[in-house]
Amino acid sequence: MNNQTEVIACLNEILECELAGVVRYTHYSLMVFGHNRIPIVKWLREQAMESLAHAGIAGEHITTLGGHPSLKIGKLTETHKHSLSDILSESLEHENVQVKNLRHLLKLVERESIYLEEYARAMICEEELHISEVEKMLRSQPKG
């Protein structure tokens, strides 16, 4: 692969973003209160576990390419806003950043590496489905 250093750097960004997702979703799960707390906390903790699994996959790709997985964690900002809408909006923003990272990876590996191309496409698909679910959760119930 001609651009292996750049691919490893991009995979490290993806890894760091996923690790931030673990922290972010775990934090959010602790800050949910109200009538629907139990299913929302469960969903947020599932998202944290999924982010951890995704981080592991990205790390495996990095070491396969001879790189060194980052020990950094992506950007974490404490907004002190913990309404469910705020939590979901922040999570949507986080997921959109990761889709951007994955699209960058796809651009780097297209026609260079089938397995990394397929990985990027599968992850983009998964993240876009997640984004659509969060967007539905943010929508108000139609009247009528």
The tokens of 47 are what?
A: 């998202």
pLDDT digits (tens, 9 = 90+) for 117-139: 999 999 999 999 999 999 999 99
**Helices (H) then strands (E): counts for the chain:** 4, 0
Distance between CA atoms of residues 17 and 12, nearest Å: 8
Question: Which class is 4-136 in CATH?
Answer: mainly alpha
Name the residue type at position 104.
H
pTM of the model: 0.93
pLDDT digits (tens, 9 = 90+) for 5-25: 999 999 999 999 999 999 999
Start-to-end CA span in the chain (Å): 56
Check whether 111 has a pLDDT greater than 90. Answer: yes
* Domain ranges (residues) in the chain: 4-136
